[in-house]
């Protein structure tokens, strides 16, 4: 890995672009750091991250029974929907919450070791992707039990997951910069995440509020979840869903890159 050294003969745009490129190719570094975070979090635990899997399995079973009864859903179709939705939502929520500390959490490393700053955002996204993999075991078990076969839709779900992770990186970068500068933002983000959980189709299905379509149509998180969830459940998202998801990705990266160009060199001084 080559270190990033700022020099007077390069523009801030070139430095930011090089930082992102070097961070992306340093997969062995942020991969190792992300694994270290997981091992540190569950040190001396017998089951490790699978404690989350067990707790989520209990949550899916209990919430599936309660909400399935309230909304009169067929449990054979609702339980896989709920298991997959909660796994994906936990990834989104953790990325939003932990993205706020993507630079603050590693301030000592940033101040003493020269490496691309984007490595720290990638580290946060990677460790939450590992947890997503553990939680996805519940859906896979249900799919095998119920005989769900996504077929070619599984390949489309992989594309959707790649797009979801791509959005997670710019979210961690942008929130990391904002929260490094303004320390009152993380509690606000946590409150917004709680609100998003209730207005996003996670425990309920979009058809339940067909008379209020704007609640779903104006929610960008819905599109990012649906491009992964839909294909795995046998419902291929339409071109409109993919167009909005791609638009959210492009707009998010455009804003993040502009902010990264301007404020990247100040991050270490904000910590």
- 110-168 per-position pLDDT tens digit: 888 888 999 999 999 999 999 998 888 888 888 888 777 766 777 888 999 999 999 99
In angstroms, what CA-CA distances link 27 with 14, 65, 109, 177, 263? 21, 41, 17, 21, 24
Q: What is the pLDDT of residue 260?
A: 95
State the pLDDT confidence band at 49, using cuts at 50, 70 and 90: low
Mean pLDDT of 51-69: 80
State the pLDDT confidence band at 44, using cuts at 50, 70 and 90: low
| CB-CB neighbours of 155 under 10 Å | 11
Q: What is the pLDDT of residue 203?
A: 87
Q: Is the pLDDT of residue 84 over 60?
A: yes
* Paired tokens of 167: 């959005």
Mean pLDDT of 202-226: 86
Long-range contacts of 77-80 (CB under 8 A, 24+ apart): 77/233, 79/142, 80/139, 80/142, 80/143, 80/146, 80/148, 80/233
Which sequence spans correspond to the domains of the chain?
A: 12-20+49-270
Mean pLDDT of 44-57: 72
Pairwise pLDDT comparison (7 vs 105), residue with the higher score: 105
Q: What is the pLDDT of residue 60?
A: 83
Q: Is the pLDDT of residue 236 over 50?
A: yes
Mean pLDDT of 43-50: 66
Q: Is the pLDDT of residue 45 over 70?
A: no
Q: Which of 141, 102, 93, 105 is nearest to 120 (CA)?
A: 102
| CB-CB neighbours of 3 under 10 Å | 9
Task: Produce one character per residue of 199-235: b if its CB has 16 or more CB atoms within 10 Å, e if not.
Answer: ebbbbbbeeeeeeeeeebeebbbbbbbbbbbbbbbee
Task: For the chain, give the percent of residues with pLDDT over 70.
Answer: 93
Q: What is the pLDDT of residue 10?
A: 65
The pLDDT mean for the chain works out to: 87
Mean pLDDT of 70-82: 82
* Paired tokens of 219: 């929610």
Phi, psi angles (nearest 5°) of residue 96: -65, -50
Q: What is the pLDDT of residue 5?
A: 45
State the pLDDT confidence band at 48, using cuts at 50, 70 and 90: low
Task: For the chain, give the percent of residues with pLDDT over 90.
Answer: 50
């Amino acid at each position: 890995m080559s270190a990033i050294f700022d020099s007077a003969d390069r523009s801030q745009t070139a430095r930011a672009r090089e930082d992102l490129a070097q961070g992306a190719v340093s997969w062995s570094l942020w991969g190792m750091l992300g694994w270290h975070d997981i091992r540190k979090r569950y040190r001396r635990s017998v089951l490790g991250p699978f404690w989350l899997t067990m707790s989520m399995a209990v949550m899916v079973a209990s919430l599936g029974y309660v909400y399935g009864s309230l909304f009169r859903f067929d449990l054979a179709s609702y339980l896989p929907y709920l298991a997959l939705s909660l796994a994906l939502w936990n990834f989104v929520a953790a990325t939003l919450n932990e993205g706020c500390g993507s630079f603050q959490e590693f301030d000592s490393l940033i101040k003493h070791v020269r490496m691309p700053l984007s490595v720290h955002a990638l580290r946060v996204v990677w460790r939450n992707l590992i947890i997503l993999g553990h939680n996805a075991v519940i859906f896979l078990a249900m799919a095998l039990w119920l005989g769900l076969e996504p077929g070619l839709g599984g390949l489309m779900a992989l594309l959707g997951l790649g797009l979801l992770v791509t959005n997670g990186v710019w979210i961690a970068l942008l929130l990391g910069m904002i929260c490094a500068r303004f320390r009152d933002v993380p509690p606000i983000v946590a409150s917004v995440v709680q609100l998003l959980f209730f207005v996003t189709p996670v425990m309920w299905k979009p058809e339940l509020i067909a008379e209020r379509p704007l609640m779903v149509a104006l929610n960008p998180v819905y599109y990012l979840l649906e491009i992964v969830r839909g294909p795995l459940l046998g419902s291929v998202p339409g071109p409109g869903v993919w167009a909005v998801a791609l638009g959210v990705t492009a707009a998010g990266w455009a804003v993040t890159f502009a902010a990264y160009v301007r404020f990247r060199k100040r991050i270490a001084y904000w910590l």
